[in-house]
Structure 1
């Protein structure tokens, strides 16, 4: 691959991060399914241990298959390095721990994936790290919450599950005035639709389980940054020490998934736009949350900072919790499941599933309701997806 040429996304998703030929001139990279690497002599050991050599010691720290995946993700996110993790939550928690110490506090958006919310509100306080919950869709509200101990602002955009859009540039502008790190979960958008690092964000995290993989057969995470020194610290002081290492086989599956990321995201979005328009006119649907709808509150910001709107949709039923359960219980094509980003269309009830940790009496405070249904629009024929939703909604 010509390092001096600026290749487009679809090309980078297949060739990015590749250095030279694969062993034995194989088209696809091999899986280096080994825990340990050997040395030529003790001088070789010294050079590797002192990072004077790019050779390997032990797969928990580095592995050729993992390194290729990390390099490719850095290329796609326009970062200078990345760290692969065993899961999205391993990536998120490790990044937060890497920036925080006892006495500090982190600001989180009022809507987050349930486990991310639990890390900030339950796990970090056990280590004397406080948290503040802010509606970051209004970035100016940060000014009243930031204090001398605020070290990190963490959010998703689009957020899970209400698809709220946060103005990345404005949050970064405020954060930089106070020397605060900004960490963004880019799982929903993927680097195909959004590149937070180019907007000034310090670290981007992904649950690579989702769109990066795309096939529902991997659990993995990744963190990407423009700061190579930070990436080195995150890998060897946190990932290695916490032990959240990705397996070489999973890295290989992710490399395979990345080859079609752009193609998949275009088709996912094409289907999602049609599903969102259908839901937006359905008499049993009270509201539709999808950034691609012009009347969606964050549409204009999304249009400015994103290349597209993704394939995640949430909608509220004009009814009660039992009506919402009836909808998700009676789909025939869509699958009732907690994940997202797969080829299959997945449907779920956030308040009863992925966001179960939120106190029910305060759901509205966090931008959630019991009748909110989330759909990860898949790659099936869109007419079949809509027909499936239509028959299910017809039972309410």
Structure 2
């Protein structure tokens, strides 16, 4: 098999045969001419059911995650919704990590639980707690590692074994790590989910989501039907933009990881910071595990401020390179106050995040400039 970057650049991305254009065109069409009724050209009839731009991206993603098939959607939550529809029915139990993206929990808790899906959460880094939380009706185990925003690292292989023993589909949200750093299917997960808006898209200019399925052909067919029948697809333009970005994923993640390591180390020595969450720090509880199942430690860093919630709110007003915004994974650095932004929907629940917590998406700027930006902001708030 070819190397990761070679596959990212070439799989699903053939040159255009009529003109020899190196980059495949964007197939901006809603429908396709047929050679007589049912005479489909290469299987294409209508862009909801299939489009070459989307197919190219799906081929790339399946190759990079080591999966049987990949399916792309208009957002990460649309991908998650399709997965739940494909696997669960009323009365089934979904066991989810207690430190996941707030939108994922909101989808399950406020959309699917009222329709009869039983939802509970657990610290998935605690394998004994996971075993104890499994029910006879558990049909899905949902893992996010590293987690958002507390950067918890969970043992994918061990969790896959626990889930499979219970007859559950094991889902791994690989958005933070990406296939450049971590490949959950090779560790036993059944399905990988991505918000491709984040590192895979990588430039803060496109929204999307994806599912990549391992060896379960029946599950893949179920998701394929829902992608077609429900229609929460991404557009040809969005697919093309995401394919373009995938080609540089490996080199971007290398720089994101190197910059984040520098930033985390600088924050760890700052007396205004009470705790730093980054798997690349030796004192992180998941440092050794991350070193085994990830090739690098990623570009996300979270921190708690010694001055409490007000210090966190003050700091975000004084950074310049770190822009205050939701989302993550772009080339530019962002700073986020999760309690009122990405995780506002879980305030007051067991998934609530500390109100003195800030999350950093460390971009591709010069690391010295990023550290100086944070140091200047700390100096400004005293």
Q: Sort the TM-score into its range (normalised by shorter chain).
A: over 0.9
Flag structure 1 segments of 5+ consecutive residues without an equivalent.
1-5
Q: Distance between the aligned counterparts of 2:295 and 2:315, measured in 1? A: 32
Does structure 1 residue 383 correspond to structure 2 residue 368?
yes
TM-score normalised by structure 1 residue count = 0.93
Does structure 1 residue 42 correspond to structure 2 residue 23?
no
Q: Distance between the aligned counterparts of 1:10 and 1:220, measured in 2? A: 21
Deviation digits for residues 348-375 of structure 1, max 9, x if unmatched? 1100100001134x5xx43720011000
Q: Distance between the aligned counterparts of 1:151 and 1:380, measured in 2? A: 43
Q: Helix, strand or coil: the match of 2:56?
A: helix
Q: Which residue of 1 aligns with 2:106?
A: 118
Which deviates the most, 54-63 or 180-189?
54-63
Does structure 1 residue 312 correspond to structure 2 residue 300?
yes
State the Cα distance separating 1:243 from its structure 2 match.
1.9
Shift in alpha-carbon separation, 1:317–1:234, aligned structure 2, 3 A: same
Deviation digits for residues 65-100 of structure 1, max 9, x if unmatched? 100000000000011110010001101111122111
Q: Which residue of 2 aligns with 1:168?
A: 156
TM-score normalised by structure 2 residue count = 0.97
- The aligned runs of 1:162-241 (5 Å cut-off) are 162-226=150-214, 227-236=216-225, 238-241=226-229
Q: Helix, strand or coil: the match of 1:132?
A: strand
1:70 maps to which of 58, 80, 83: 58
Q: Helix, strand or coil: the match of 1:370?
A: coil
**In the alignment, is the contact (CA less than 8 A) between 2:338 and 2:357 conserved in 1?**
yes
State the Cα distance separating 1:287 from its structure 2 match.
0.4
Does structure 1 residue 12 correspond to structure 2 residue 7?
yes
State the Cα distance separating 1:23 from its structure 2 match.
4.0
Q: Distance between the aligned counterparts of 1:37 and 1:232, measured in 2? A: 23
Which deviates the most, 216-225 or 139-148?
139-148
- The aligned runs of 1:1-396 (5 Å cut-off) are 6-18=1-13, 21-44=16-39, 54-226=42-214, 227-236=216-225, 238-360=226-348, 362=349, 365-366=350-351, 368-394=353-379, 395-396=381-382
Q: Helix, strand or coil: the match of 2:364?
A: coil
Flag structure 2 segments of 5+ consecutive residues without an equivalent.
none
Which deviates the most, 338-347 or 23-32?
23-32
Q: Distance between the aligned counterparts of 1:40 and 1:242, measured in 2? A: 27
Q: Distance between the aligned counterparts of 1:43 and 1:381, measured in 2? A: 56
Q: Helix, strand or coil: the match of 2:346?
A: coil
State the Cα distance separating 1:13 from its structure 2 match.
1.0
**In the alignment, is the contact (CA less than 8 A) between 2:77 and 2:209 conserved in 1?**
yes
State the Cα distance separating 1:145 from its structure 2 match.
1.5
**In the alignment, is the contact (CA less than 8 A) between 1:110 and 1:367 conserved in 2?**
no
How much is the aligned-residue C-alpha RMSD, in angstroms?
1.4
Deviation digits for residues 25-55 of structure 1, max 9, x if unmatched? 11000000001012101252xxx5xxxx841
Ranges of 4+ aligned residues in structure 1 off by more than 6 Å: none
Shift in alpha-carbon separation, 1:155–1:22, aligned structure 2, 3 A: farther
**In the alignment, is the contact (CA less than 8 A) between 2:13 and 2:24 conserved in 1?**
no
